[in-house]
Amino acid sequence: MRSLPLADFTPALNHQSEVPLYRQLYERIALSIRSGNFSRGERLPATRELAGLLGLNRATVSAAYDMLETAGLIAGQVGRGSFVTGQVTRPPAGSFDWAALLEPNALPPSGPSGGFGGGISSFVMSRPARALFPLDDFRASCQAVLARPDLDAILQLGSPSGYEPLRRHLIDEARRQSLAAPGDDLLITNGCQQALDLIARVLLRPGDTVAVEDPVYTGLKNLLLANGAQLVGIPVGLDGMDVTHLQTILERSRPRFLVVTSNFQNPTGATLPLASRRALLDAARAARVPVVENDAYGELRYSGDPLPAIKQLDESGSTVLLRSFSKVSFPGLRVGWVVGPKPLIDRLRQAKEAADLHTDQLSQAVLLEFAESGRLDAHRARMLQAGAERLAATLDACGRFLPPGTRYTRPHGGMNVWVRLPEPLDAGELLPRAQKEGVAYIPGRYFAVSRQEPGALRLSFAGLHPDQIRSGLAVLGRIVAEEIARASAGAAPSSAMV
Amino acid sequence: MRSLPLADFTPALNHQSEVPLYRQLYERIALSIRSGNFSRGERLPATRELAGLLGLNRATVSAAYDMLETAGLIAGQVGRGSFVTGQVTRPPAGSFDWAALLEPNALPPSGPSGGFGGGISSFVMSRPARALFPLDDFRASCQAVLARPDLDAILQLGSPSGYEPLRRHLIDEARRQSLAAPGDDLLITNGCQQALDLIARVLLRPGDTVAVEDPVYTGLKNLLLANGAQLVGIPVGLDGMDVTHLQTILERSRPRFLVVTSNFQNPTGATLPLASRRALLDAARAARVPVVENDAYGELRYSGDPLPAIKQLDESGSTVLLRSFSKVSFPGLRVGWVVGPKPLIDRLRQAKEAADLHTDQLSQAVLLEFAESGRLDAHRARMLQAGAERLAATLDACGRFLPPGTRYTRPHGGMNVWVRLPEPLDAGELLPRAQKEGVAYIPGRYFAVSRQEPGALRLSFAGLHPDQIRSGLAVLGRIVAEEIARASAGAAPSSAMV
């Protein structure tokens, strides 16, 4: 089993290109493998080795390797390296060659190739705790739906706009909260994710750029890339998106639209202050760029006063607002909605019908019953209390266990805290060791758009019990402290990374 | 209120263009309206008048007017004509101009602009009868899910592949039926519609052509157009797709893929015979074009022996098979699946995750229980009996009430019969009169791809009681006979169409 010759990996990567370096590297290696220059079982150089040879950041090489693994071209073996596995031979004669038909995969991996494993403290998923689901209230809501005289209508083919009783309920609520302007309409979608996807589908033309927060959650990056968009990142600080930077980008890059998470952004937890909301609207209006306000987390505020939505502040009708039941109630039921100007909603409804006819009606009816019966309000109150405890436990444990020099956001709600470890630590390199000790998180680079923060990581706390949060962060703090000591002693990191 | 000058509608339409004439006409008129050449309230020439002036088929003009109405640019008033309504003025100063941002709508209307109305006999929707839903069995299946110990897992965020117990059930079933080859995988989608959309998204590149049946159901046309595809239609006769014509098209147009409905095609009800299935596979293999086999209706065979699926006959792995619970059980629950070669399914899973994370889990769990408990089989048996009665009533009433010279398909299953009225009748022109008398159907032109059949219409019989079918076809037969008499007497049609 010979190792691949390093000379084959000395491509002329273009540091000026808009194509990220990791993707250039991925494509270069994938082409070599696909064109049969290497055979199954050959070993790739270690990430550290290749990074040094090419003068690249090691995270860049790791990201390219992750993509190769996702594409089924290589496989990693812990402690032994990565080996060529896939598509080095043509399929058997006479069988259909799908690999030749499918375009090279444009989507970066959303996590390490080996997955995150189980473990006692997995800060990986931004979702509520299973133990908090109000199962009896859910059952009661289902029973009420099963007893409805229009049950047969719920089971029949429905409208692309959504189940009309739920749609009326949501429109009325949006009107009461001044979230719907007089000319607005509302479309029910399979969660916020589909609303974002439909918006991308109706607005994007080939080559268009979309402005997003940087870092931003992987699901948004992936859906925009899948729709052929170029991404431009606006840095997010403790106070949300940097609006001054945004103004520059809007003028320079003329993005087709802007996606902003006003409250408790994923992954940082940051919330945009009122003045920034107004400034953002002014900048977007001046540049004639529409604003997509993703507010999946807005109802999960644990402290402080709620701020008006960008949609509420917008008098020009340039904003469209996305909300969802998923974060507050049951994520397995895929129901969200989008409120905005009628011309856009009309087009989104057409795209929705073409995409999947309509959103599942059983879940729409159950969630309507859950909301109208008052059970949603009662559940939200419990979720706010549980979330506040979990957030407090997280911030307290970060302060207690993470070494000096570590910085982290202090959100007032949502499900995520963003941690920046002191230099020169790389959160991606620490992860395997943390996982061995039962702690998992998502390294910052999976959320990166235009800038890399190797020391960053996301802690999703909402799904964990406060005890798990404390014990997990105690372990992580110890590992970080040991790595800092090791790094300052000039030794190699303990975890043999490939 | 002056009428629009006809001179403005004498554009140089290109009969050689790949853009259909109705769309060229639509774009020409929309541009005139949007650029402010006409003001609100101006009247469009009658379709008959404009068709005569431009030397076009009247159906072409009607289709363009329908698109204008869908786009909000004109509105029709029965008996008075169509008037310019929309977007002739810029939005108020300071407000956001969505109309300028949204691309012109590329999707043709899926039905007449005024809708189909209610009526005693609506042959419009291809769906099961509400009265046939087994509500008690559905309730029992829900109760079983609510009692499951993993209910909390069902309510939690799920996998893009689908709810794993359902996925295993479907894979096992596909293996038992030899529908899944050894290297195949299965992805759960929001019905067949989403499976088709995801396939289009991962396979299509700008400018690609897709080969489809002609006529074909509107939902497929719309999703392919929404994905930027050019469509090429393969004529469908009594014996399904014309495979000789297909060979020519595969060689000439090099489509990116082919979509075929092997059983009880929508809208014609036609089924592809065994020899044609083999010939289709041979042709597709020779041209290296993958086959998307849409089999939403396959389980609804009322008579005759079932045929092997194209997927079963395919030894080269070029076929992907789509199935669904929607037609046999509850269309309001959006659950279908796609079985095919793993490289394709892997890519579809990524696209699915980007599009909406995963399919609703409550409905997946309920449908699994419905299937595993044996209730689905019992229900299918009842559906087959009811469908057979409805189909027999339809064919019997077609023979009894439709005048000589009318032709219609004689399917062995599914939900649709395709009728061709004698020349020179136009099913679209007859519709308003039929609707006035309580009968509705979809005129053939909404299903047309490359060729128009003005006399064609679709009768979707599955949702109607046999009595409604008979009385509806008696009315339709009388209207058709009267129109034939009128046409042969040289008089103008009775219904004042615009």
Two tokens, residue A6: 């390093």
Helical residues (DSSP H) of B339-491, grouped into ranges: 342-356, 361-372, 375-401, 427-436, 466-488
- Residue that finishes a domain, picked among B324, B344, B373: B373
**CB-based contact A360 B332, cutoff 8 Å:** yes
Whether residue A362 has pLDDT greater than 70: yes
Residue of B nearest to A194 (CA): B356
Task: Please give the average per-residue pLDDT across B11-17, as a whole number.
Answer: 67
Q: Does A346 touch chain B (CB under 8 A)?
A: yes
In the predicted structure, residue A223 carries a pLDDT above the cut 70: yes
Domain count, chain A: 3
- Inspect the interface and report whether the beta carbons of B125 and A360 lie closer than 8 Å: no
Q: What residues form DSSP beta bridges with A339?
A: A186, A321
Tokens of A478: 């110890």
- Residue B434, chain A, CB below 8 Å: the answer is no
Mind telling me how many Å the CA of A81 is from chain B's nearest CA?
24
CB contact under 8 A, A356 and B193: yes
pLDDT at A23 exceeding the cut of 90: no
Give which of B70, B85, B98 to mutate to test A binding, by max A Cβ within 10 Å: B98
CATH of the domain at A462: 3.90.1150.10
- On average, the pLDDT of chain A sits at 89
Q: Which residues touch B476 (CB under 8 Å, ≥6 apart)? A: B401, B402, B434, B439, B441
For A359, the closest chain B residue by CA position comes to: B334
| Higher local confidence (pLDDT), A481 or B96 | A481
Residue A494 lies in a domain: no
Confidence grade of residue A117 (pLDDT, cut at 50, 70, 90): low
> Is the pLDDT confidence value at A119 over 70?
no
Contact between A464 and A472 (Cβ < 8 Å): yes
Per-residue pLDDT for B494 more than 90?
no
Q: What is the mean pLDDT of residues A343-366?
A: 96
The least confident of A13-17, A478-482, B336-340 is: A13-17
Interface test mutation site (partner A, options B136, B196, B362, max chain A beta carbons within 10 A):
B362
- For residue A67, give Cα distances in angstroms to A62, A73, A145: 9, 9, 45
- Collect all residues of chain A within an 8 Å Cβ-Cβ radius of residue B358: 334
pLDDT above 90 as % of chain A: 69
Q: Using 50, 70 and 90 to split pLDDT, how confident is the model at B495?
A: very low
On whether residue B107 sits in a domain, the answer given is no
Whether B402 and B419 have beta carbons less than 8 Å apart is answered as yes
Are A349 and A394 in a shared domain? Answer: no
Cα gap A83→A333, rounded to integer Å: 40
Rounded to whole angstroms, how far apart are CA atoms B341 and B180? 9
Q: Residue B110 has what pLDDT? A: 75
Choice among A119-123, B212-216, B462-466 with the minimum mean pLDDT:
A119-123
Q: How far is B197 from chain A (nearest CA, A)?
A: 6
For residue B475, the SS3 value is helix
B340: nearest Cα among B290, B377, B384: B290
Nearest C-alpha neighbor of B304 from the set B419, B179, B388: B388
Torsion angle of alpha carbons A402, A405, A406, A408, nearest 10°?
A: 130
pLDDT higher than threshold 90 for residue A22? no
- How many contacts (CB atoms, under 8 Å) link A and B? 231
Which residue from B95, B205, B355 is facing A103, i.e. has the nearest CB?
Answer: B205
Residue B79: predicted pLDDT = 61
pLDDT band at A498 (very low <50, low <70, confident <90, very high): very low
Q: A168-177, A189-198, B12-21: lowest mean pLDDT where?
A: B12-21
Residue A146 is nearest to which of B142, B202, B351, comparing CB atoms? B142
Do B409 and B465 fall into the same domain?
A: yes
Give A42 or A485, the one with higher predicted confidence. A485
Nearest chain A residue (CA) to B366: A362
Confidence check: pLDDT of A497 > 50:
no
> Which of A73-82, A356-365, B190-199 has the lowest average pLDDT?
A73-82
CATH code, domain with B341: 3.40.640.10
Q: Are A310 and A284 in contact (CB under 8 A)?
A: no
Q: What is the mean pLDDT of residues A378-392?
A: 97
Q: What is the rounded average pLDDT of the residues B400-412?
A: 96
Could you list the residue range(s) of the whole structural domain that residue B42 is in?
6-101
Q: Is A230 touching B (CB cutoff 8 A)? A: no
Interface residue B154 vs chain A (CB under 8 A): yes
**Segment A372-377 mean pLDDT:** 98
B265 and B148 in a common domain: yes
The Cα of A365 is separated from the nearest Cα of chain B by a number of Å equal to 11
On whether residue A495 sits in a domain, the answer given is no
A112 domain residue, yes or no: no
A303 and A366 fall within a common domain: yes
A352 and A467, same domain (yes or no): no
A109 found inside a domain:
no
Least confident span in A104-113, A434-443, B353-362:
A104-113
Report whether pLDDT(B76) > 80: no
Check CB contact of B140 with chain A, cutoff 8 Å: no
Q: Estimate to the nearest angstrom the gap between the alpha carbon of B333 and the chain centroid.
A: 18
Instruction: Please state whether beta strands B74-77 and B257-260 pair in parallel, antiparallel, or not at all (unpaired).
Output: unpaired
Q: Which residues of A touch B158 (CB under 8 A)?
A: 331-332
| A202/B102 CB distance under 8 A | yes
Whether B142 and chain A come into contact, CB under 8 Å, resolves to: yes
A191 and chain B: CB distance < 8 Å anywhere?
A: yes
Q: Is A362's Cβ below 8 Å from some Cβ in B?
A: yes
- Return the bridge partners of A292, or none: A259, A320
Find the range with the poorest average confidence among A16-30, A138-152, A154-168, A378-392: A16-30
DSSP B249-289: HHHHH--SEEEE--SS-TTT-----HHHHHHHHHHHHHHT-
Measure A366 CA to nearest chain B CA, in Å: 10
> What confidence score (pLDDT) does residue B73 get?
80
Task: Tell if the CB–CB gap between B191 and A366 is shorter than 8 Å.
Answer: no
Residue A145, pLDDT > 90, answer yes
Residue A55 confidence (pLDDT): 79
N-to-C CA span, chain A: 17
> Which pLDDT band, with edges at 50, 70 and 90, does A495 fall under?
very low
3-state SS, residue A74: strand
Residues A448 and A344 in one domain: no
In a domain, B294, yes or no: yes
- Distance of alpha carbon A335 from alpha carbon A153, whole angstroms: 18
Task: Flag whether B114 is in a domain.
Answer: no
What is the predicted pLDDT for the residue at A36?
66
pLDDT at residue A481 greater than cutoff 90: yes
Q: Which chain B residue is nearest to residue A290, measuring alpha carbons? A: B96
Which residue of chain A has the CA closest to B137? A146
pLDDT at B472 over 90: yes
Q: What is the mean pLDDT of residues A173-195?
A: 95
Encoded tokens for B60: 């072409």
Q: What is d(CA B388, CA B386) in angstroms, rounded to the nearest whole number?
A: 5
**Chain A contacts of B334, Cβ < 8 Å?**
356-360
The answer, yes or no, to whether the previous bond of A206 is cis (omega within 30 of 0) is no
Angle between helices A361-372 and A164-176 (to 10 degrees): 40
Gap from B355 CA to chain A (nearest CA, Å): 5
pLDDT single digits (tens) A258-308: 999 999 999 999 999 999 999 999 999 999 999 999 999 999 999 999 999
Above 90 in pLDDT, residue B440? yes
Q: Which of A151, A201, A357, A415 to mutate to test the interface with B (most CBs of B within 10 A)?
A: A357
Is B155's CB within 8 Å of A330's CB?
A: yes
Residues A81 and A203 grouped into a single domain: no
The answer to whether A55 contacts chain B (CB < 8 Å) is no
Instruction: Please tell me whether residues B338 and B391 are part of one structural domain.
Output: no
Mean per-residue pLDDT, B195-220: 95
DSSP annotation string for B299-323? T-B-SSPPPPPHHHH-SSS-EEEEE
Sort out which chain B residues have CB atoms less than 8 A from A105's CB and list them: 347, 350
Q: How many CB atoms lie within 10 A of CB B207?
A: 9
Separation in Å, CA of B405 to nearest CA in chain A: 35
The answer to whether residues A382 and A445 belong to one domain is yes
B493 assigned to some structural domain: no
Query: Could you tell me if A333 lies within 8 Å of chain B, comparing CB atoms?
Result: yes
- Give the helix ranges, DSSP H, for A213-341: 218-226, 243-253, 274-287, 310-313
Question: What pLDDT is stored for residue B88 in this prediction?
Answer: 42
Angle, helices B342-356/B191-203, rounded to nearest 10 degrees: 110
Query: Where does A35-119 have alpha helices with state H?
Result: 47-54, 58-70, 98-101
pLDDT reported for residue B68: 79
Those of residues 79-118 in B touching chain A at CB distance below 8 A are: 94-99, 101-103, 105, 107
Residue of B nearest to A73 (CA): B343
* Judgement on whether residues A344 and A389 belong to the same structural domain of the protein: no
Task: Give B289: exposed, middle or buried? Use CB within 10 Å, 0-12, 13-18, 19+.
Answer: buried
Lowest mean pLDDT among A22-31, A229-238, A309-318: A22-31
Mean pLDDT in residue range A17-41? 74
Of A354, A373, A392, the last residue of a domain is A373
Same domain, yes or no, for A470 and A340? no
Q: Are A318 and B96 in contact (CB under 8 A)?
A: yes
Q: Cβ atoms within 10 A of the Cβ of A424, count?
A: 13
Alpha helices in A105-188 (DSSP H): 135-146, 151-155, 164-176
User: Which pLDDT score is estimated for B117?
Assistant: 62
Q: Using one digit for the tens of pLDDT, what is the confidence trace for B91-126?
A: 556 788 887 888 766 577 777 766 776 566 899 999
Query: Look-up: residue for tokens 């990996």?
Result: A9
Q: Do B107 and A317 touch (CB under 8 A)?
A: no
pLDDT tops 80 at residue B294: yes
Which residue of chain B comes nearest to A140, CA vs CA?
B146
Q: What pLDDT sits at residue B19?
A: 66
- The interface predicted TM-score of the complex, written ipTM, equals 0.83
Please write the tens of the pLDDT for every residue from A239-253.
899 999 999 999 999
Categorize the per-residue pLDDT at B1 as very low, low, confident or very high, splitting at 50, 70 and 90. Answer: very low
Name chain A contacts of B366, Cβ cutoff 8 Å: 362
Alpha carbons B8 and B3: distance in angstroms, whole number: 11
Q: Regarding predicted confidence, which is higher, A477 or B90?
A: A477
pLDDT(B32) > 80: no
Q: What is the DSSP letter of A245?
A: H
Tell whether A490 is within 8 A of chain B (Cβ): no
| Residues A380/B248, Cβ–Cβ less than 8 Å | no
Are A152 and A251 in the same domain?
A: yes
The DSSP call for residue A325 is: S
Sort out which chain A residues have CB atoms less than 8 A from B103's CB and list them. 202, 205
pLDDT digits (tens, 9 = 90+) for B156-166: 999 999 999 99
The predicted-structure confidence for A84-93, as pLDDT tens digits, reads as follows 876 544 456 6
- Which DSSP state fits B44? P
Mean pLDDT on B405-433: 96
